[in-house]
Amino acid sequence: MESFFIIINDVFNYGIFYFALSFVLINVVLGVFSARELIFYKKKNSFVDYGYILSSPLAPTVSLIVPAYNEGKSIVQSVRSFLSIYYNDFEVILVNDGSKDDSMQKLISAYSLEKVDFAAYEHIKLKTPISAVYRSTNKSFHKLVVVDKENGGKADALNAGINVSQKDLLVCIDADCIIEQSALLKMVKPFLEEKDQVIATGGVIRIANSCEVEDGRLVKPIVPDQFLPAVQVTEYLRTFLMSRMAWSRLNGLLIISGALGMFDKKITIACGGYNTNIVGEDMELVVRMRRYMQERGKKYRVIYIPDPLCWTEVPATVGNLGRQRNRWTRGTAETLWIHRKLFFNPRYGLLGVLSHPFWFIFEFMAPIIEFLGVIFFIVMAIMGYVNWEVFFKLLYTLYCYTVMVSVFSIVYEEMTYRQYPSRTDILKLLGTVLLEPIFYHPLTVLWAIQGNFGLFRNNKGWGKMVRNGFNEKVREEAPVPVQVKDTPAPSR
Amino acid sequence: MRSIAQLYRILVTTTLRACLLVGLVAVFGLPAFSLPSDSLANKPAEDFKLVKEKTGNAFERAKEAFSHYQPSGKSNPISRELLRVVFYFMASFVVCIFLMLILIVVNRIRQSWKTKKHAELKHAYENILVELLYSRESEPEAAYLLKPAEELKAENEADAGQWLVAEAPTAPLEVKASPARLADYFEAQELTKRFNRHVLVELILELHKNLSGATANTLRNLYIELGFDEDAKRALKRSNWSDKAKAVRELSQMGISEAEPAITKLLNHASSVLVLEVQIAHLKLNRETPFSFLDNTEVEITDWQQVSLLAMISHSPHFKIPDFSRWLSSPNDSVVLFVTKMVNYYNQLDASDKLIALLSHPNEKVRLEVIKSLGELEVAEAEQALINIYPTEPEGQQVAILIALGRIGTANAVIFLNNALQSPQFALVFNAAKGLLLAGQPGMDVLTESAKGDSDLQRIIKHLKDERI
């Protein structure tokens, strides 16, 4: 029995220690790569005139696909905002995914819509059929296509949009996002400038809670006063500026956020579009597209753009945030499981040897290992086998490390886009950085564990999401911003 | 892979229950803690105190059992030495945090100082430039120059986009103030400081972009007089690609033609950003043969460069447009691709034969572009060649051929398109119908005839004819 304890003790002591150490080192490496990529991107883009794409007949055409479910309160304004994006040749395909509210009626009257005989081919098999396709009789809205279909979920709505698309590239975006007007110009550029075929580009997602919004445009970024949204600001900065940029540089990205992503239409269709049977369809599509290219021996790239292109409202309550993180965990696990063939498979190059194992070990397994470590620690503490001096020294070191990483992400932001010029905002961010490891991180671990339990209970739901709406200054005639809705939380 | 999958499943299921295992196995796995044989037969706790006592006893016994467990040196990884290393890590993290905080503060102070200083200097230099350039000019013109550059640009853009014409210098014209005189003024403005020089160069470039004629030429002379051109020429030799690119942009905008050989040397640089700047500089500085850089381009001309070059050419009417067909036989596929687009854009019908010959080009992208161009140029001679390659081409090319044949619209093309309506692939049927509509009345008649009794085709025709779609 003694040897059993020694094994358990070794596994936990050595295992968790070295796991944490490797996690720290990998993050340092990723941080360095990100910094290099950010500097390079900023330098490169200081020479760019995006106006060239605006007027060029050589620029690719773009379909903006917006799935919407019960968005009646803000749909008219959202569409207006999407139609005013800077780009020469694009269409906005709004897919009404069987909304139970008055979304369709509002769209029909606001944009003078009429049913048309649209000969859409089902490139991707849909779960529920398209009921009708609408176009506007008003030529000012000639870029708008409205697809009405029975409810089939977000992935199915996106697939319907892909089937109706008549352009070269696809942009999939959440209806409640605020998109920068130059977003398409910036996202298209990598498709034009890279020597290898670009199959997808993603933009950095920023947090819109508390920000000033005017007529569907974000006019002043503000760090929210509430703890949960504020802590997510640094979390998103860390994720996008310090991690995804590095993966983009390494060409090892596994995810393009479902809130905003641009895809090569031909490859998307060839891969079969979005998977309608899982909750992490955004990540799964990117992995599938990469796998498709890899299996055909084609050179390709998936690129992230550090510019703040899309602003979204994040959950502000523990319940909503928990449901969102629960769903993310399930999505990650499902994707990793579906593509388990990639795990340490050298045939898939960097994707198999590095990206997939990294996501499995440090994204999926990390909260589980952490949770087990905590339980083991509690048991050992009860038994009186904890060296408290060592414990506090290690804990303090780890705390300092997490604070340091978050402070670095704020420095990255300061040195690049500086979206929060106010001193108060920076102080707020630094404050959340100090509190995050104590109050926020344990919750994320708990939600991840719940997500795993949900996975085994075969929970396929998105969970109910309640939103507060943007801090929007609206003109009298503009629709009132959304207060409550049943749609899922914004994706990663 | 099967074993990995199993491992995955085992890991997930076992880890979720591991906390129980650690505790329970420790207690129940030991012979010392085996429960009395009748424990399962006992009734549910009759007395809470009894249960508490039992649990307490079990806990005490577990503690006792653990006390026999003596971790070996190996199983205690957190040695004093390691703790020292951990302490160093912690100290370095703390130092890093403080350094980063200082960096944030310093950066903010530096940025605000820079912005303030930049605005002050810009204002001062603007005043000097206006005073010296327009001292003998009428008041309204001086006021014109005092306007912010963005405002000027907007006004000029509204004026039929003529502002870009000013980019190439014209012959020396009468200047209102000699460059030497201007230079004297600026010498007094601490131009030895790098930041000040940077602000002045930026201002000169900004004004130069928005002006034309004598004033623009004066600015150019001032730029030379102050030695900024020499600075830029030196920057061309630096190792950093962005310094080079900046210098190339500066020299080309100020029309420093003598720098052209040095700039052209960078035509095949590894940085595509620099290469684009060099290509644009070549267009601006080499007025006789602006496109000769295509002869020497060995690197790929990316799609982004092609978009930028076309924008540059189409917005500047002073470029001599050559016969692009001479580069259609280039060994560089990206050059062929670019000039094919140019042939199409400038309607250079004389290139038709060479374009037809390119239908057998090994590069798919080139073939696709050639097919599109032949269609848009409506080269009837290409009809048979297009029909011939159709069966062996991939779907993307086949779609382009159908559209091209529709635009060409010969009787033979209409027959071919009508046959293509029988294809099992939706994209081909759709585009064959589109082609027939593009072919005019004969195509329309054939299409109507074929659609009789074919509801799918009728739907496609409705779609194609609907102007709202």
Q: pLDDT tens for residues A391-404?
A: 888 899 999 999 99
Task: Tell me the sheet residues that pair with A305.
Answer: A203
- B-contacting residues of A 136-175, CB under 8 Å? 136-137, 142
Looking at residue B422, its pLDDT comes to 92
CA of B385 to nearest chain A CA: how many angstroms apart? 25
Confidence of residue A141 (pLDDT cuts 50, 70, 90): very high
Mean pLDDT is lowest, of A364-368, A462-466, B43-47, for B43-47
CA of B270 to nearest chain A CA: how many angstroms apart? 12
Dist CA B68 CA B147 (whole Å): 87
Given a contact cutoff of 8 angstroms between Cβ atoms, the answer to whether B320 and B288 are in contact is: yes
Say yes or no: A8 contacts chain B, CB-CB below 8 A: yes
Given a contact cutoff of 8 angstroms between Cβ atoms, the answer to whether A194 and A251 are in contact is: no
Nearest Cα neighbor of A312 from A175, A462, A417, A410 is: A175
Mean pLDDT is lowest, of A62-76, A374-388, B72-86, B275-289, for B72-86
What confidence tens digit (pLDDT) does each residue in B252-261 have? 999 999 999 9
> Which residues in chain B are closer than 8 Å to A394, comparing Cβ atoms?
78, 86
Q: What's the average model confidence in pLDDT over A414-429?
A: 93
Of the candidates B63, B83, B468, the beta carbon closest to that of A384 is on B63
DSSP class of residue A134?
E
Exposure on the CB side of residue B291, measured as CA atoms within 13 A: 18
pLDDT at A245 over 70: yes
- Predicted structure pTM score: 0.82
Interface test with B, best of A301, A360, A397, A401 (most B CBs within 10 A): A397
Looking at residue A213, its pLDDT comes to 87
Confidence of residue A327 (pLDDT cuts 50, 70, 90): very high
- Report CB contact under 8 Å: A17, B68: no
Around Cβ A71, how many Cβ atoms within 10 Å?
A: 27
Give the A:B interface size as CB pairs under 8 Å. 191
Burial of B128 (0-12, 13-18, 19+ CB in 10 A): middle
What confidence tens digit (pLDDT) does each residue in B451-461 have? 888 888 999 99
Looking at residue B42, its pLDDT comes to 43
pLDDT at B364 over 50: yes
> Which residues in chain A are closer than 8 Å to B79, comparing Cβ atoms?
none
Say yes or no: A297 contacts chain B, CB-CB below 8 A: no
- Report CB contact under 8 Å: A47, B345: no
- Report CB contact under 8 Å: A52, B311: yes
pLDDT at A311 over 70: yes
- Report CB contact under 8 Å: A383, B66: yes
Task: Tell me the sheet residues that pair with A300.
Answer: A197
What confidence tens digit (pLDDT) does each residue in A192-228 have? 999 899 999 999 999 999 899 887 788 899 999 999 9
State the average pLDDT for chain A.
89
Dist CA B211 CA B166 (whole Å): 7
DSSP class of residue B390?
G
Nearest Cα neighbor of A306 from A250, A230, A249 is: A249
Confidence of residue A467 (pLDDT cuts 50, 70, 90): low
Dist CA A423 CA B105 (whole Å): 10
Mean pLDDT is lowest, of A291-305, A311-325, B20-34, B314-328, for B20-34
Q: Which pairing describes strands A212-214 and A169-173: parallel, antiparallel, or unpaired?
A: unpaired
Dist CA A11 CA B20 (whole Å): 16
Of the candidates B72, B89, B111, the beta carbon closest to that of A6 is on B72
A311 phi, psi to nearest 5 deg: -120, 130
ipTM for the whole complex: 0.87
Dist CA B405 CA B387 (whole Å): 8
Instruction: Report the residue of chain B nearest A59, measured CA to CA.
Output: B307
Looking at residue A471, its pLDDT comes to 58
Structure tokens at B3: 């074993």
Of the candidates B16, B93, B310, the beta carbon closest to that of A56 is on B310
Confidence of residue A131 (pLDDT cuts 50, 70, 90): very high
- Report CB contact under 8 Å: A193, B303: yes
Burial of B139 (0-12, 13-18, 19+ CB in 10 A): exposed
pLDDT-above-90 percentage for chain B: 53
Looking at residue B125, its pLDDT comes to 86
Looking at residue B65, its pLDDT comes to 53
pLDDT at B7 over 70: no
pLDDT at A258 over 70: yes
Dist CA A147 CA A158 (whole Å): 11
Confidence of residue B166 (pLDDT cuts 50, 70, 90): very low
pLDDT at B138 over 70: no
- In order, the DSSP letters of A356-395 are HHHIIIIIIHHHHHHHHHHHHHHHHHHHT---HHHHHHHH
Nearest Cα neighbor of A205 from A282, A95, A103, A319 is: A282
Instruction: Report the residue of chain B nearest A193, measured CA to CA.
Output: B304
pLDDT at A7 over 50: yes
Is the four-CA dihedral B224, B227, B228, B233 of positive or negative sign? positive
Ranges of beta strands (E only) in A89-196 are: 90-97, 113-116, 130-136, 144-149, 169-173, 178-179
Q: Is B432 helix (H, G, I), strand (E, B) or coil?
A: helix
Burial of A201 (0-12, 13-18, 19+ CB in 10 A): buried
Chain centre distance of CA A241: 13
pLDDT at A324 over 90: yes
Looking at residue B183, its pLDDT comes to 64
- Report CB contact under 8 Å: A266, B396: yes
Structure tokens at B352: 């038709």
Instruction: Report the residue of chain A nearest B84, measured CA to CA.
Output: A393
